[in-house]
Amino acid sequence: TISVDVDGTSFDVQYTAVGMTVTGIESDTESVSLIFSVDVTDSTGILNVELERSFFDSIYDDTDDLFFILADGDEAISEEIQSTSQSRSLTITVPSGTEDLEIIGSAFNNSVEEPIVEEPIVEEPIVEEPIVESMFDNSCGLGTILKNNMCVLDERCGSGTVLVDGECIVEESSVKSTTVSKSMSKELIIGMVVALVIAGIIGIILGLMSKANKNNN
């Protein structure tokens, strides 16, 4: 067993070594890795290490991912020999002459970064005020306007005209009276002309009769 410090917290790491010795261990929180200082006495050393999940793990999308093993910066041969809900065990082949053995994972002390979930912006619905129509009918008749809540004669247009849609137009009653007056004048003139024609015809007939009497005498 060997102890390692991670951000001020000490953790124990269980391991066994064959053909090599472990002289020290340290953590790198930036690369999320454990770095073993080793001395390989045989042509090839074997390191078996047990990693508690609550201390150090390799997770991707909520599933176990492989640990990445480097021996002096070169990828080393490794195999996961056991996995439980509490721990994961690795066996690592360490070449002769190796001084640093690095095990890279994804999280220390279950410090897997949780994705930031943005709260959806809920827009409040716009409530339109209902238009309340007045119960009182303030409209006035043709030719009148509303003034002080009373219908009075509209004096904005001249005599015989009323204001409709902003324009002064001839009042219907005035048009009718003018038409009647013109019709009566026309009939009177025609009557006078007919009377004059008849009087002329009578005068001609009387003149002819008078002339005939004179010739007979």
The model's pLDDT over 5-32, given as tens digits with 9 standing for 90+, comes to 998 889 999 999 999 999 999 999 999 9
Determine the Cα–Cα distance for residues 170 and 143; give it in Å rounded to an integer. Answer: 11
CB–CB of 155/145 below 8 Å? no
pLDDT value at residue 154: 65
Secondary structure letter of residue 139 according to DSSP: -
The pTM of the full predicted model, rounded to 2 decimals, is 0.50
Residues whose CB falls within 8 Å of the CB of residue 16, separated by 6 or more in sequence, listed in order: 47, 48
Dihedral class, residue 166 (left if φ above 0, else alpha if ψ from -120 to 50, else beta): left
Determine the Cα–Cα distance for residues 11 and 108; give it in Å rounded to an integer. Answer: 11
Task: Tell me: pLDDT of 114 over 50.
Answer: no
Determine the Cα–Cα distance for residues 14 and 22; give it in Å rounded to an integer. Answer: 12
